[in-house]
Amino acid sequence: MKQPVVDSEACIGCGVCAHLCPGVFEIVDEISRVKDPGACASCDCQEAIDTCPVDAISWRDTGA
């Protein structure tokens, strides 16, 4: 199973990912964090990955 992860060092807090996938990403202290990776089923996390201006989001294979 794949889950999105945010590189908090790279993220500039633009909010695009949280706009595209509000069930998955939230902005906390101007940094995106993944609140529910399972919610990708109801949005397009790949679009968030492709749209992030600093390529801070990637997939992690959980092996499950």
Q: How far is the CB of 56 from ligand SF4 (least distance, A)?
A: 4
Nearest to 7 by CA among 48, 46, 56, 51: 56
Task: Output 1 or 12, the one with its CB closest to ligand SF4.
Answer: 12
Q: How far is the CB of 59 from ligand SF4 (least distance, A)?
A: 13
Residues near ligand SF4 (CB under 6 A): 6, 11-17, 32, 52-54, 56-57
Dihedrals phi, psi of 51, to nearest 5 degrees = -90, -25
Residue ranges of alpha helices (H) inside the chain are 16-20, 45-51
Minimum Å distance from CB 36 to ligand SF4?
15
